[in-house]
Amino acid sequence: MKVLIVKTSSMGDVIHTFAAIEDAVRNRPDIDFDWCVEEPFAGIVALHPAIGTIHKVAVRRWRKRLLDGATWREMTGLRGALRASRYDLVIDAQGLLKSALVAIQAGAPIAGFDRASAREPSATLFYRHRYAVPRDLHAIERTRRLFGLALGYQPDLLTLRSGIVLPAGNLPGIDGQTAFLLHGTSREDKKWPVEDWIETARRLTDRQFTPVVTWSNEAEKNVAKAVASAVPGTVLVAKSPLADVAAILGRAALVIGADTGLTHLASAFGRPTVAIFLATEPGLTGPRGPFASTLLAPAGGRITPAEVMVEAERLLALSSKAPA
């Protein structure tokens, strides 16, 4: 049986799907899985060994260039590739109109959330199979339940495994433990002040950790350079492909991150991960992992570096007692 997964974005949503893939691999070894995803996240999808062909879409770019011939050639090419794969089933794990429109290109039956469960009820008009999954569950559990209903098994929700494999690569010449500081995030109100990142880096060096920072745009580059300049010994990783960043992230002894996709990836790798949520509610979409924890800023208040370090120490102690 060949199944196509449609979960195009964002990075956190893609990562939230891995546990459902792991369930399916264990319960339905007869299924071959492919995935359709936005092109920047193809390297993330490739971390799971059960995924075969990765079909790349560029919905965000296509929307801006609908009149370009190149756009139509890319969309036609995608449709041809999906049809040629002859899927037995498509699972739209996103529940949006845009994902449903991608899913129908495969020309196969589509399974997805029912009207009361989907994020955009209009998407369900394109589904042959619709399943009720409560909306007040965490996104990971919702996706696991959807896959179980669509593929005929009951997921073991008492366990949580991502199944992703750490890519090759590491930081050369670094002795001791690294702590990756993920300061970059998409919204200004999600950003922890640079002074707090600097103070956290100082506290980490006092504990014999090597802080690591990176960046993906100019604003993030300024923050990363500020931390590296203020705290000697901090490693500044230049803007890199996601797979290269993932290799460093997955080998870190500790990760401290804002509300961003890489924080979800750290928790999926099973790294001790402290997530700092300043403006969003983590309840249904926050990082989940064996050693992941979220600190939520109180209304009108703040999260201090001292509080972050206390939680980091707790997670490190917890992980040190876990079986190898």
Torsion, Cα 96 102 105 107, to 10 degrees, reads -40
Contact present, 111 and 5 (Cβ < 8 Å): no
Checking if the pLDDT of 56 tops 70, the result is yes
Give the C-alpha separation, 95 to 298, whole Å: 31
User: What is the reported pLDDT for 324?
Assistant: 66
Helix (H) or strand (E) holding 31: none
Q: Which CATH fold would you assign to the domain 177-320?
A: Rossmann fold (3.40.50)
Which residue, 253, 220, 254, is CA-closest to 237? 220
C-alpha 216 chain-centroid distance: 16
pLDDT band at 175 (very low <50, low <70, confident <90, very high): confident
Intrachain domains 2-151 and 177-320 with the same fold: yes
Task: Measure the CA angle with vertex 142, ends 137 and 148; round to 5°.
Answer: 140
User: What is the reported pLDDT for 301?
Assistant: 85
% pLDDT > 90, the chain: 89
The DSSP string of 121-176 is GGGGGG-SEEE---TTS-HHHHHHHHHHHHHT----TT-------PPS---TT--S
- What sign does the CA torsion over 69, 72, 78, 80 have? negative
- What sign does the CA torsion over 23, 25, 29, 35 have? positive
Greater confidence, 172 or 86? 86
Checking if the pLDDT of 279 tops 90, the result is no
User: What is the reported pLDDT for 316?
Assistant: 97
Average pLDDT score over the chain: 95
H-only helix segments in 174-278: 194-206, 218-230, 242-249, 261-268
Burial class of residue 288 (count of CB atoms within 10 Å of its CB; 0-12, 13-18, 19+): buried
Give the C-alpha separation, 225 to 58, whole Å: 31
At 57-114, the pLDDT tens digits run 999 899 889 888 999 999 999 999 999 999 999 999 999 999 999 999 999 999 999 9
Greater confidence, 187 or 117? 117
User: What is the reported pLDDT for 247?
Assistant: 95
Checking if the pLDDT of 173 tops 80, the result is no
Checking if the pLDDT of 323 tops 90, the result is no
Q: Would you kindly state where each structural domain of the chain is located, as residue ranges?
A: 2-151, 177-320
Position 226: which residue type? Answer: A
CATH top-level class of 2-151: alpha beta
- Classified as helix, coil or strand, 324 is coil
Token reading at 229: 């300049």
At 179-224, the pLDDT tens digits run 999 999 988 999 999 999 999 999 999 999 999 999 999 999 999 9
pLDDT band at 164 (very low <50, low <70, confident <90, very high): very high
CA distances from 195 to 182, 236, 304 (A): 14, 17, 10
Which residue, 243, 231, 166, is CA-closest to 204? 231
Which residues make Cβ contacts (< 8 Å) with residue 125, sequence separation at least 6? 100
User: What is the reported pLDDT for 94?
Assistant: 97
pLDDT band at 117 (very low <50, low <70, confident <90, very high): very high
User: What is the reported pLDDT for 322?
Assistant: 86
Give the C-alpha separation, 108 to 127, whole Å: 10
Mean pLDDT of 49-64: 94
Position 84: which residue type? Answer: A
User: What is the reported pLDDT for 177?
Assistant: 95
Mean pLDDT of 153-181: 92
Residue 257 C-beta-side C-alpha neighbours within 13 Å: 27
Residue 298 per-residue DSSP state: P
Give the C-alpha separation, 125 to 213, whole Å: 45
Mean pLDDT of 243-259: 96
Mean pLDDT of 9-14: 95
